[in-house]
Structure 1
Amino acid sequence: MRAEVKGTKRKRAERAGEEVEDEDNYGSEGEEEDDDDDEERELTPTPAAKKPKKRGRGKQTALMEGGVPKWAADGRVALLEGGGGEDWARLVNIWWAYEKAAKFLGPVSKGEGKRYRPKEVSGWISRARSGGPHPAVTDVYAFAAQWWVWWVSINPAWRERVGDRLAKAGEGDWKSVAQTGPNGMLNVLICLRWWYDTLKNDASEIVKWKEAVDDVEWAMKGIL
């Protein structure tokens, strides 16, 4: 083994232009240069090949029966639990058809997303969108106002702003709203679910909630 190391040292010294004292100091007598190259390669570890990174549209959860991702199936159950009336059920069905058309993948593009989004959404996402207890919406009126700020902010600029609301008129690109997948329109709808559940059958406030449902439905129909 010492002879092999010496042979390697001799080769390195020769390459650097240094003086070599004697053949026996670096390797066995009669050893050829090609053998030195082989020994040096053997002593140099070969770096492990890196596995290519997989590219896709984001990690999707396990598929359930019918090829539906768990996040979508659980989300649909969460949206429909507790009622909400025919208008609400129709909006959930429109959302479901939209996700199916996109094969439950997303997002289609990077949207405005988080800037004005209610903080309760982040907590829900951190819990893997579990269907457990609703987030603690301590002030439903502040929550509703924040939802509107967020919803207006992610709508396209061509939708005319009427005060703190939106006009149901015009047409154009829906890219900022047309978001599928677990971080898409599901987040918008789950907020409406929490908003409704926190009202506790307050008739006058439910009317305001229905205005929000109607506006989202108008936008969803435009996207489809």
Structure 2
Amino acid sequence: EKPLCPPKAAQWFIDAHAQMTRQDLGCHFDAVIEAWTRLEVASRYEQGPTNLPPKGRPAQVGAWIGTHRGKRGSDPKVTDPAAFAVAWKNWWDFLQPAWRVKDGDGKWSVTGGYGKDGTEWGNLYQWGVNGTLSLLAALYFWGVAVEGQGELETVWEAEVIDVAWMLEGMAAYYERFNRKF
């Protein structure tokens, strides 16, 4: 069962939610959708303080933004998943807050708590139509391209788990400290 879109969501969110759940990409991607939903509900679907930085962003995400986030044209295709993975990792690494550390295998640690008591999110702390939605779009396009492709899908899934962990922390922080009600 795919994640539900909240009632009374902003139209941009309804459209994006429908697009990002069009294809079932599994429970880990559902966790990303659910954490993103929590963050956007807590922010009342407003735009964050700035836009998510585009430095190193995969070209497909920029193309998607250029089509008004899929409203004009079809979703971008990831024709070279290995190259997309490199671009994604460069972008994701750039977006990480200073407190994050990599483990011995060069992967971001998802153990322990969130740094600075979960109050410091750096470049990732951008919500709204120009914020974390771009992360979801990148993962969605990539996931569609690698579904059922063994090791390529395994690499994608590891990144999805990391994004879910970070978005869950951001959502909890926003719900706890910045709720705008």
TM category, shorter: 0.7 to 0.9
Q: CA RMSD in A?
A: 2.0
1:145 aligns to 2:91 (yes or no):
no
What is aligned with 2:142?
Answer: 195
Task: Give the match for residue 129 of structure 2.
Answer: 182
- The separation in 2 between residues aligned to 1:137 and 1:88, in whole angstroms, is 17
Aligned to 1:49: none
User: Structure 2: how far apart are the matches of 1:98 and 1:139?
Assistant: 31
Partner of 1:210: 157
Structure 1 unmatched runs, 5+ = 1-64
**Maintained 8 Å contact 1:156/1:177:** yes
Question: Per the alignment, do residues 90 and 200 of structure 1 end up closer, same or farther by CA in structure 2, a change over 3 Å counting?
Answer: closer
CA apart distance, 1:210: 1.1
Larger displacement relative to structure 2 (66-75 or 160-169): 160-169
Residues 71 and 129, structure 1, Cα contact 8 Å, conserved in 2: no
CA distance in 1, matches of 2:125, 2:139: 17
Q: How many residues of Structure 1 are paired with residues of Structure 2 in the alignment?
A: 159
Shift of the alpha carbon at 1:136?
3.2
- Give the partner amino acid of 1:212: E
Q: Which moved more, 1:134-143 or 1:160-169?
A: 160-169
Does residue 87 in structure 1 map to residue 34 in structure 2? no
Q: Which of these residues, 109, 114, 129, is aligned with residue 69 of structure 2?
A: 129
Deviation digits for residues 161-216 of structure 1, max 9, x if unmatched? Answer: 34653222451211421211111111001110000111141022212111111101
CA shift, 1:101, in A, is 0.6
Runs ≥4 in structure 1, deviation > 4 angstroms?
none
- SS of alignment partner, residue 129 of structure 2: coil
Aligned equivalents of 2:29, 2:63: Cα separation in 1: 24
Partners of 2:52 and 2:27 in 1: how far apart?
30
Instruction: Tell me, yes or no, if the aligned pair for 1:149 and 1:164 is still in contact at 8 Å.
Output: no
Higher relative contact order (CA 8 A, sep 6+): 2
CA distance in 2, matches of 1:86, 1:161: 24
C-alpha distance in structure 2 between counterparts of 1:217 and 1:133, whole Å: 26
Answer yes or no: is 1:105 the counterpart of 2:46. Answer: yes
2:167 equivalent in structure 1: 220
AA of the residue aligned to 1:211? A
Q: Who is 1:114 aligned against?
A: 54
Structure 2 gap segments, 5+ residues each: 1-5, 173-181
Q: Give, in angstroms, the shift of residue 80 of structure 1.
A: 1.0
Matched, 1:171 2:115: yes
How far is 1:149 from its partner? 1.0
Distance in structure 1 (CA, Å) of the matches to 2:8 and 2:22:
22
CA contact (8 A) 1:152 1:165 kept: no
- Which structure is larger by alpha-carbon Rg, 1 or 2? 1
